[in-house]
Structure 1
Amino acid sequence: MFRHALLATAALVVAGAAPQGQVWAQTAPRLSVTIYNDNLALVQDQRDINLAAGRQKLEFKDVSAAIRPETVSLSAPGLSVVEQNFDYDLLTPDKLMEKAVGQQVKIVRTNPGDGKETTETATVLAANEGVVLKIGDRIEVLRDDGVPTRVIFDKVPETLRARPTLSVTVEADKAGPAPATLSYLTTGLSWKADYVAMFDEAKGALDLQGWITLGNQSGTAFVDAETQLVAGRVNTLANGGYQQPNRAMQQAGTESSDRERIADYYLYPLPHRTTIAANQNKQVGFLSAQGVAARKVYEIREGWFASQAEPKAATVAIQFSNAKLAGLGDQLPAGVMRVYMRDKAGDPKFIGENAVGHTPAGSELSIRTGDAFDVTSQATLVSDTKVSKTRSRYEMKYLVRNARPQPVTVELRQGGLWRDGAVKAESLASRRIDARTLGWSVPVPANGETTLTFTVETGW
């Protein structure tokens, strides 16, 4: 711990400089970055380089610190790659001291009383959890004891870099300038969509604003880059596991939009070149729609036939379609949708948020914003009868109550049906939502209640 405290305050002086390889020529780069949803980006850097004939070493500084070296590709006319190395051991006080183990350094201490400096030559014995030095015949632990101290090194080790550096050994047919393209995949760059929805319940409409949020945790800034985003899940070995379902999408759409595609993904190019700074989140608008038809609904979802000891609050959701006829007509990349409503004074108030998966145009969406305060349901299993070895009959009763001064309709979903499940009796007409789910639209009067009863038979 002494080492960390000291090196954070002491000045480190390097007498020499690290050897330099050939670098990019000083021409304006043509940098493009293609960012995918799953913590992945393709970087393509086009520049003119000055080549010597024969074998030589090129160094590319400021590549991503999270580069995937196995994906690097360097191409130029008359150029062949012999070997490439990615040096990510960055120059820090700790690393510099670690590399000096077994070597001599100079320790310069300043007397706080008279300002006189004392210089001693020391051999670094260890730099693990503190720096251990041999000075003459004594062993000393370098520590932060309030005495101003500098450590002077002869040079920077060749393996330490001030910035992440890709070094490539190449063979060139001839000397002279040549246009070259360096491309690689990197992690640490990602993007998602963020949506702001202003819902007007009285008008049955919402205004929707879409933002692209870029995140850069790659350790490197990408300056003045042509940037485009890919919406969709590109298969990689890193993301080959379970994919979270898109629970906001109630029904998939069948419409197309005018957005550019590549393979089965949509492209979202940013309109202007942009700088994506390291450790930065950047937002860019990409969608704006007003007056999209929408409605508020109350939902009750049950997965099995069982009684409830206490009433259960209904879920509140805002339902709308991103179809053209509904006023939107665009696919929605995965992200988070935040919903607001205006209070009596006209000020917007946040009422909830929900994740949205990649959603094709023309889909039906249900954005769940929270639980209702005044709308509840309580289930009672009236009877559970074994009809045969593989079939059972369930008689259910739902008491739905509404403490609001306006009537509401509650969308009740009952899961638990198996093969050959059938409704035998019901107080309200049901509809089949999917193979295992029944649905009822239950009208409940203002400050009142409605009882729904039904009997189903199901088997396996």
Structure 2
Amino acid sequence: MKPLARLLPVVALLVPGAAAARDVDLVTLPPRDGVQLTIYNAEDLTLVKETRAITFKKGSNKIQFSWANTLIDPTSVYFRPVEHDKEIEVADTTFPADRPQVLVWNVESKFEGQAAVEVSYFTSGISWSADYVMISDAGEEKASVDGYVTVVNRSGEDYEGAQVRLVVGTINLVEKIADLARRGHALKNGEKRMLRLEELKKSLDRAEADKGGIGGGLAFSVDAQGCPPAVVKEGLSEYFLFTVEGRQTVPNGWSRRMISFRAREVPFEVLYRQREHEYGEKPVRFYILANDKEHKMGESPLPDGVIRVFRDNGKGGLHFFTAESVKYIPIREKVELNVGEDNQVVYDRVVLDAARSNFLFSNPPDPEVVGWDEARTWQEEIRNYRGKAIRLEIRHVLEGDVEFGMEVPGLRLYDFRTVEYTLEIPGGATRKVPSKGTFRLGTAQKQERVRLVGP
């Protein structure tokens, strides 16, 4: 259902004697020939570009534009002839005192006939979000991944058959303002806003010129020439522009969820992690997706969103694992999804032995033990009840001044106090791994660090 007060541009054809009655011969413009929405969530701004065919007469023409009951910013409204632009010129813009939320363009034309024009403006109240659905096969080897975009329109205006474009990233609109301030220009709040809108429009136009997400069969796709969406970098800015496939109708007050891409037979990695300081005592399982062509993804970066992860239960149904928020995923980057604990993988770590030596004492007359070395021996036992081999990545945080050693390949320091290593455990097998550490405690501790030594 159309809103009662819609965007209503009209053209007035001036005839002799019509000056005394401004509303005589007002003709409503034909429907939009096209409309494009470029939605920038970070500023709650959407750049709207409408194209319409207007019949001009030679001489003066008046074009009325109304934004009643909408969130259109009137300071951003711009009129531009697309055809016969050398013969059609806007002489001035007036805001009638007796007609709130209306402006009139006074257009001088040397051309008579129909010409395409573009009306552009910024509006608020339109937003978008991305979400994804991943469904693993029963063997946890390959998955289907579907991407979606939801556009919500609360702008007060209907947009029918619109091309929808999404800005992902950050456009730094304060750089130009800060540059003017450094040069001694004093800007009022209204001037700052107009300048921000102007800079945003320029940035979006530059992104379009760089082929950022034009064409293609997917919302987040390559363009018609096979080029990936361009990365636009301007000072502190870095953003992408994506185009949703086809034309979309988004009435005011409605939301519309659209498919953005479909990927099938996507290989992914299953990795178990044991990090008691992060996840607790039990190992947790991760699905790791790579956004690259080798893994049947990687057509473009993926925006922030929520990924819902399911697994085929082998009985015609699905098992839900998690819904996890993810940040922007560049091409050739990985996304790690925590799908929770697995009761078929059991991890235990016990202290087999502890001995103290090299005691340090305080000064007489009442000497006390103030420092010592403590040698500890651990044994880790991992029992894999699954029918296939697993990889378990282990991290231990060791407080103090520590020397640590064990016989595993790839033992390394993750940071100055954390050791990391990865174990392979065959299906249905148990693996036991011993390790040793010497802790310098009390006054024997000279620094906070872990040093790797031979076992």
Q: Report what 1:153 is aligned to.
A: none
Return the offset for 1:384: 12
Deviation larger for 350-359 or 176-185:
176-185
Checking the alignment, whether the CA contact within 8 Å between 1:24 and 1:50 is kept in structure 2 is no
2:405 aligns to what?
Answer: 425
Contact 2:61/2:108 (<8 A) preserved: no
Aligned match for 1:186, one of 95, 109, 123: 123
Q: In 1, are the aligned partners of 2:245 and 2:260 still within 8 Å (CA)? A: no
Partner of 1:103: none
Which whole-Å CA distance do the structure 1 matches of 2:438 and 2:158 have between them?
A: 61
Q: Does 1:277 align with 2:246?
A: no
CA change 1:230–1:300 in 2 (3 A) is: same
Q: Which residue of 2 aligns with 1:168?
A: 103
1:384 and 1:333, CA in 2 relative to 1: closer, same or farther beyond 3 A? farther
**2:324–2:337: 8 Å Cα contact kept in structure 1?**
yes
Q: In structure 2, what residue type is equivalent to 1:441? A: T
Moved more, 373-382 or 275-284: 373-382
Greater fraction of residues in strand: 1
Q: Which fold has the larger relative contact order, with Cα–Cα distance below 8 Å and residues 6 or more apart in sequence?
A: 1
- What is the CA–CA distance in structure 1 between the aligned matches of 2:52 and 2:356, rounded to whole Å? 75
Q: Secondary structure at the match of 1:219?
A: coil
SS state at 2:314 partner: coil
Q: Which residue of 2 aligns with 1:341?
A: 311
- Among 61, 66, 70, the alignment partner of 2:71 is 66
Q: Give the drift of 1:359.
A: 1.7
List alignment gaps of at least 5 residues for structure 2. 1-21, 82-87, 175-192, 194-221, 234-238, 358-372, 440-446, 450-455
Partner AA of 1:78 in structure 2 = E
Identity %: 19
Q: 1:43 aligns with which of 44, 48, 63?
A: 48
- Verify the 8 A CA contact 1:198 1:341 in the aligned structure 2: yes
Q: Deviations over 1:190-216 (max 9, x none)?
A: 333322222125262222222222222
CA distance in 2, matches of 1:35, 1:384: 65
- Find 1:207's aligned residue among 139, 144, 152: 144
Partner of residue 292, structure 1: 266
The one-letter code sitting in structure 2 at the alignment partner of 1:59 is: F
Q: Deviations over 1:379-430 (max 9, x none)?
A: 7898999xxxxxx999796856547455643212346899xx9964235342
**Which segment is superposed worse, 442-451 or 261-270?**
442-451
Where does residue 246 of structure 1 map in the other structure?
Answer: none
What is the correspondence of 1:148-163 to structure 2 with a 5 Å cutoff?
Answer: none
State the Cα distance separating 1:44 from its structure 2 match: 0.5
Give the 3 Å change call, closer, same or farther, for CA 344–226 of structure 1 in structure 2. closer
Partner of 2:336: 366
Q: Could you state the TM-score of these two structures normalised by the residue count of structure 1?
A: 0.58
- Matching of residues 391-406 of structure 1 within 5 Å: 402=383, 404-406=385-387
1:439 to 415, 420, 423: 420
- Give the residue type in structure 1 aligned to 2:66: F
- After superposition, the C-alpha distances for 1:246-299 in whole angstroms (9 at most, x for unaligned) are xxxxxxxxx997334373544433332221122333232232222222122222
Kindly tell me: are residues 371 and 424 of structure 1, through their superposed partners in 2, closer, same or farther at Cα, counting changes over 3 Å? closer
C-alpha contact (below 8 Å) 2:50/2:118 kept by paired residues: yes
- The CA distance in 1 between the partners of 2:256 and 2:324, in whole Å, is 21
Task: Describe the shift of the 1:203–1:171 C-alpha distance in structure 2 as closer, same or farther (beyond 3 A).
Answer: closer
CA–CA distance in structure 2, aligned partners of residues 384 and 42 of structure 1: 71
Give, as a single letter, the amino acid of the residue that structure 1 aligns with 2:136. Answer: F
Q: Unaligned 5+ residue runs, structure 1?
A: 1-18, 88-156, 160-165, 239-254, 386-391
Counterparts in 2 of 1:54 and 1:283: CA distance versus 1, 3 Å: same
Is the CA contact (8 Å cut-off) linking 1:55 and 1:169 kept in structure 2? no
Separation in structure 2 between the aligned mates of residue 55 and residue 417 of structure 1, nearest angstrom: 80
The 1:284/1:435 distance shift into structure 2, 3 A limit, reads farther
* Distance across 2 between alignment mates of 1:372 and 1:451: 21
Query: Aligned residue for 2:369?
Result: none
Q: Does structure 2 retain, via aligned residues, the 8 Å contact 1:428–1:452?
A: no
Structure 1 residue aligned with 2:196? none
**C-alpha distance in structure 2 between counterparts of 1:331 and 1:79, whole Å:** 41
Q: For 1:440 and 1:188, how far apart are their aligned partners in 2?
A: 50
**More displaced, 177-186 or 274-283?**
177-186
How many Å separate the matches in 2 of 1:185 and 1:75? 15
Is 2:393 the counterpart of 1:411?
Answer: yes
Tell whether the 8 Å contact from 2:138 to 2:313 is kept in structure 1 after alignment: no
Shift in alpha-carbon separation, 1:260–1:172, aligned structure 2, 3 A: same
Q: In structure 2, what is the equivalent of residue 355 of structure 1? A: 325
What amino acid sits opposite 2:127 in the alignment? S
Does residue 130 of structure 2 align to residue 198 of structure 1?
A: no
1:419-448 CA deviation, whole Å, 9 max, x = no partner?
xx9964235342355677542214557585
* Aligned residues of 1:25 and 1:50 also touching (Cα < 8 A): no
The one-letter code of the counterpart of 2:393 is E
Note closer, same or farther for the CA distance 1:333–1:327 as it changes in structure 2 (3 Å cut). Answer: closer
- Which deviations, in whole Å up to 9, do the C-alpha atoms of 1:293-340 show, x marking residues without a partner? 212222233559xxx9xx623322101322222333323412222221
Is the Cα–Cα contact under 8 Å of residues 377 and 398 in structure 1 kept in the other structure? no
SS in 2 for 1:212: strand
The separation in 2 between residues aligned to 1:212 and 1:40, in whole angstroms, is 17
Q: How far is the alpha carbon of 1:62 from its aligned partner? A: 7.0
Aligned residues: 338
Q: Distance in 2 between matches of 1:333 and 1:84?
A: 43
Aligned-pair CA distance for 1:60? 2.8
Aligned-residue Cα RMSD (Å) equals 4.7
The equivalent residue for 1:245 is none
